[in-house]
Amino acid sequence: MISDVSHVLTECVGCNPECYSCTNTPSSCLSCYNDRFLNVVGPTCTQCALGTFNPSDNHQNTGACASSCTSPCAACLVSATTCTQCVANHKFDLGTNTCTPCDVGTFIASTAHVLASCTSCAATCYTCSSVDSNCLTCSKDHFYVPGASGSCTICTDGTFNLADGHQSPSPCLQSCSGDCAACSGSATACTKCNANFKFDSVAKSCIACGVG
């Protein structure tokens, strides 16, 4: 930018960083980058609201950014799927500018972030949100306790639920086979044995003790 209409200056003056182009003064923006919109007061370039963008640089869109990011992008640039921040429970890949879901048993509480790894849920939760102990679903050897912060409680001995990722309330609905004092996933997948039975850790079964 050079503001003088008649001059012999050999160097142009740089615009302020928020301006794509400017005139008269470095802060008097003519056009904006794609993460900003043109505010006619000034005129200046104002940061887009979270979750919005403009499709290209060197634009003069006023009032607000015109396009919306696509979930799981919390913020984006250039296109609706080119993420710069992620929504909760998704991790950010800087190399591809994408957001991918956390693995089962992990979470991210922040609603707009650039974290590349997820945090483990508490051992009792199958999935969780906000904090590690706020269970969304339970593993098959637990039952779900609803509330403001859901939790999972281990089944009483001799009972189990059929599948991980459930919200079945107390009591656990399935019964273990007669030899198992406790089981997980199926009636015959023993984790504890009744009296006078020995535990086979490989077969997850209970074998009757010999006579004597």
99 contacts 93 by C-beta, under 8 angstroms: yes
CB contact set of 54 (below 8 Å; sequence gap of 6+) = 32, 34, 35, 36, 37, 48, 61, 65, 66, 67
d(CA 180, CA 143): 19
Give me the half-sphere count of Cα atoms (radius 13 Å) on the Cβ side of residue 97.
12
- Among residues 123, 125, 128, which one has the least CA distance to residue 138? 125
Splitting the chain (212 residues) into consecutive groups of 10 residues, what average pLDDT does each group show?
Answer: 54 90 92 93 92 92 92 94 96 96 95 94 91 92 89 92 90 90 91 94 92 72
| Tokens coding 187 | 């009636």
The pLDDT, as a whole number, for residue 197 is 93
d(CA 100, CA 185): 29
139-212: which CATH topology?
Answer: 2.10.220
